[in-house]
């Protein structure tokens, strides 16, 4: 299979000089492979004097067949939200910690890229969530999330009260520290820490995980991925609450507004090395391969 990747965009973790050497190696490798390379403009500042074209991040897809993201999962989450509407293919190189999304390590970067640029790779599509508040007659707020949309308190040390609806039907009245609404991709992130289940990324499903609920029977629930979720806050608590997407972007909540969360129209397209195995990643990242007998004191 011939490779479609002639033009390649590069994004590095913003403000992190640790990625500099990996980006420099990657540029040298891609130029040796006769690929056209364009750097995201903030990333280009890490490589002073490198004679490569630069573009704002939002413009990379129109000049790239593939965008390679160097950093951790957070860097790829950011790129996914910014570029999703342009149907961009993303590949991640892991310089972070866990790396559920960026699954190529720098020490094997060139060997993996040899196969990918030769047309041997796995491709998958994952969905995002869209959160909105308000309407066209007022100040409408919208944002995307690849991992999760989190309703949370921010300036108080007490629980908040809200109602949750799915497709117009009341699910529960809740007193808690908040609610995590997660995609299957995000089920290995904050939702997992909150006691939620792991969802295979191919599932068309959304998980809702309460944060420290007052009622102990209030458990995580998995719903259909095409459902629409509405959250209605107790008026007295609106000013104490924020919405955060992927732990990176925040929306203030205005009193009386209904928070709506649904699957976004656009998807994220990911490239993985040939033989990509999701369960292998879970074993490696979550320590499932460890033998308990080897951990005896």
Which residues are known to be catalytic? 73
CA 161-163-167 angle, 5° bins: 160
The distance from CA 186 to its chain's CA centroid, rounded to whole angstroms, is 7
Token output for 16: 């992190």
- Who contacts 252 (Cβ-Cβ below 8 Å, separation ≥6)? 242, 243
CA dihedral 232, 237, 239, 245 (to 10 degrees): -50
* Nearest Cα residue to 37 out of 18, 12, 65: 65
The distance from CA 29 to its chain's CA centroid, rounded to whole angstroms, is 27
Inter-CA distances, 273 with 109, 180, 196, Å: 10, 31, 28
Categorise residue 49: left if φ over 0, alpha if ψ from -120 to 50, beta otherwise.
left
Are the C-beta atoms of residues 241 and 151 closer than 8 Å to each other? Answer: yes
What pairing do the DSSP bridges indicate for beta strands 89-94 and 66-71? parallel
Are the C-beta atoms of residues 237 and 255 closer than 8 Å to each other? Answer: no
As a 3-state breakdown, the chain gives helix, strand, coil percent values, each rounded to 5, of 25, 35, 35
């Amino acid at each position: 299979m011939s490779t479609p990747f002639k033009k390649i965009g590069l994004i590095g973790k913003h403000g992190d000089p640790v990625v500099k050497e990996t980006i420099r190696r990657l540029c040298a490798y891609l130029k040796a492979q006769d690929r056209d390379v364009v750097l995201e403009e903030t990333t280009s500042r890490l490589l002073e004097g490198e004679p490569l074209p630069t573009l704002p991040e939002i413009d990379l897809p129109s000049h790239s067949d593939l965008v390679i993201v160097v950093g951790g999962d957070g860097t790829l989450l950011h790129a996914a939200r910014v570029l999703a509407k342009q149907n961009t293919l993303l590949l991640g190189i892991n310089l972070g910690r866990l790396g559920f999304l960026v699954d190529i390590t720098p020490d094997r970067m060139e060997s993996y890229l040899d196969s990918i640029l030769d047309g041997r790779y796995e491709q998958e599509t994952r969905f995002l969530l869209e959160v909105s508040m308000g309407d066209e007659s007022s100040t409408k707020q919208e944002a995307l999330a690849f991992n999760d949309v989190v309703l949370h308190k921010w300036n108080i040390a007490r629980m908040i009260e809200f109602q949750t609806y799915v497709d117009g039907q009341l699910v529960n009245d809740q007193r808690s520290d908040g609610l995590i609404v997660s995609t299957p991709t995000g089920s290995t992130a904050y939702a997992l820490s909150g006691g939620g289940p792991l969802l295979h990324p191919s599932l068309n499903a959304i998980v809702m995980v309460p944060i420290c609920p007052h009622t102990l029977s209030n458990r995580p629930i998995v719903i259909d991925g095409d459902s629409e979720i509405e959250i209605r806050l107790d008026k007295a608590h609106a000013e104490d609450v924020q919405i955060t997407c992927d732990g990176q972007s925040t929306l203030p909540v205005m009193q009386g507004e209904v928070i709506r969360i649904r699957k976004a129209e656009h998807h994220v397209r990911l490239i993985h090395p040939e033989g990509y195995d999701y369960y292998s990643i879970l074993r490696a990242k979550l320590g499932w391969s460890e033998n308990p007998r080897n951990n005896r004191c």
